[in-house]
Chain A
Amino acid sequence: MDASAAKFIGAGLAAIGMIGAGIGVGNVWASYITALSRNPASKAEIGANIWIGFAVTEAIALFALIVALIALFA
């Protein structure tokens, strides 16, 4: 097999890591909506924290993407 082909396969494999981040971000927002529908008064308190949870989870997808980009270009 050509070395450059392995590079592309590697980049694609690295992108699999985003599955977990997708499930995670979905979970974050699903729990947010569940919490809000149970207790709408808590919107101000949860509203600020949800972004931390979102950004920390989303970063995992970006780590996978960075590995993919390193495999492609570096």
Chain B
Amino acid sequence: MASPLEQFAIQDYTAPLFTIGGHHIAVTNSAVFMMGAVVLSSGLLMAGAGKGAMIPGRIQAMAELFYEFIANMIRDNVGSGGKKFFPFIFSLFIFTLFGNILGMLPYGYTFTSQIAVTFFMAMVVFLGVTLIGLFKHGLHFFSLFFPHGAPLFTAPILIPIELVSYLSRPISLSVRLFANMTVGHVLLKVLAGFVVALGIFGVVPLVVLIAITALELLVALLQAYIFTILCCIYLNDALHLH
């Protein structure tokens, strides 16, 4: 039987297009699904936003739902000054969400189960947020590493702790999404292996498998939400410094 980790293998669909630093860059299944997520999401949202009917149809209602969801999230978690980051946060959410959901399709490939993809996204957010904070507050930004009202003699302990927790943000942000997606899909494959191996008694794990598939759909939505809301919280830290 195939290993449950085989589904995450990267396959080249074309001959190498060009070479960067000894790595051959080709169109892979991961890249195809990323492009699919972008095309599908922008197609759906443009179709929803195009007409602007007074009484929204199904697609327009969905687009409005997404818009309101993210707009509320930014208003609640970032507050003033967060509005101009709406396009970035919205794209981040939609890209992650479509990546997670497309991976749930049979024969689909989950590009968010690649640490390279999630770590890149988390690193862009982390560096962007740090630069925004530095530009907005200058050197005062570093007061983020010392909580208000703490006694001064605790500084030698508190500052390293805060620094480590700040620097580990991109790691925890990316590993959370990557691990959730990887583990969910491994679990589905392992259970599917039980269904085949048990023969007629395979209906028992099959019922569990259906329930886990529903759970994985919830996790796909939840992890996109968590990824986005944590980015909002980090942005809020940088903009308002606690």
- Measuring CB to CB, which residues of chain A are less than 8 angstroms from any residue of chain B? 51-52, 55-56, 58-59, 62-63, 65-66, 69, 73
Contact B226 A62 (CB under 8 A): no
> Number of B interface residues, CB 8 Å?
15
Chain B, range 211-240, C-beta contacts under 8 Å to A: 222-223, 225-226, 229-230
Residues of A within 8 A of B176 (CB): 55-56, 59, 62
Could you tell me the dominant secondary structure of chain B's interface residues?
helix
The verdict on A59 contacting B172 (CB below 8 Å), with A51-B226, A52-B229 known, is yes
Chain B, range 168-219, C-beta contacts under 8 Å to A: 172, 175-176, 179-180, 182-183, 186
Q: How far is the CA of A56 from the CA of B165 in the complex (A)?
A: 14
Q: How far is the CA of A73 from the CA of B8 in the complex (A)?
A: 13
Contact B175 A63 (CB under 8 A): yes
- A27 vs chain B, min Cβ distance (A): 18
Could you tell me the dominant secondary structure of chain A's interface residues?
helix
Residues of A within 8 A of B179 (CB): 59, 62-63, 65-66
B32 CB–A CB distance under 8 Å: no
Contact A51 B222 (CB under 8 A): yes
Residue interface bits B16-31, CB-to-A below 8 A is 1, else 0:
0000000000000000
Chain B, range 73-105, C-beta contacts under 8 Å to A: none
B5 CB–A CB distance under 8 Å: yes
Chain A minimum-CB-distance residue to B178: A66
Q: 9 interchain pairs (CB within 8 A)?
A: A52-B229, A55-B222, A55-B223, A58-B180, A59-B175, A62-B176, A65-B183, A66-B182, A69-B5
Residues of B within 8 A of A73 (CB): 5
Contact A55 B226 (CB under 8 A): yes
The verdict on A62 contacting B180 (CB below 8 Å), with A51-B222, A55-B223 known, is yes
Q: How far is the CA of A58 from the CA of B184 in the complex (A)?
A: 13
- B46 vs chain A, min Cβ distance (A): 28
Residues of B within 8 A of A55 (CB): 176, 222-223, 226
Residues of A within 8 A of B229 (CB): 52
